[in-house]
């Protein structure tokens, strides 16, 4: 728990737009409205619309989907990418 708070503090103190920090909070707390979440509410099929191969979980959307990998590598600045991966990896187990 302490390590998680430390990563969150590092993330929150980065100089980036508040909307990105808020998005990261949603990500860290698994609050993104993914198809798997909608599926639990019996509203959609759980699979990813982009690759149609996997259940669309937060990790799939952000890390594992082939489209996500291309987007993040091309759009995310390197120093944010490292923090992003630390938060994702620490919360994926
Ligand atoms: Zn996908």
Query: According to the model, what pLDDT value does residue 84 have?
Result: 65
Instruction: Give, in degrees to the nearest 5, the angle at Cα 68 between 41 and 58.
Output: 30
C-alpha to C-alpha distance for 36 and 9, rounded to whole angstroms: 28
Residue 90: pLDDT over 90: no
Using a pLDDT cut of 70, give the percent of the chain over it. 75
pLDDT digits 0-9 by tens, 49-88: 999 989 999 989 988 899 888 887 777 665 666 666 666 6
- Ligand 1 centroid – CA 71 distance (Å): 12
Whether the CB-CB separation of 79 and 15 falls below 8 Å is answered with no
What residues does the ion ligand 1 have nearby, CB within 5 Å? Answer: 48, 50-51, 65
Supply angle C-alpha 88, 92, 93, rounded to 5.
145
Which pTM was predicted?
0.64
Q: What is the mean pLDDT of residues 24-40?
A: 90
């Amino acid at each position: 728990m302490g390590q998680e708070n430390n990563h969150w503090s590092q993330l929150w103190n980065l100089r980036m737009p508040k909307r990105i920090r808020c998005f990261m909070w949603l990500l860290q707390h698994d609050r993104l409205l993914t198809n798997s979440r909608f599926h639990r509410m019996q509203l959609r099929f759980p699979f990813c619309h982009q690759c149609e191969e996997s259940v669309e979980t937060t990790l799939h959307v952000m890390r594992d989907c082939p489209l996500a990998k291309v987007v993040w590598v091309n759009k995310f600045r390197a120093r944010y990418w490292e923090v992003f991966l630390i938060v994702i990896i620490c919360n994926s187990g």
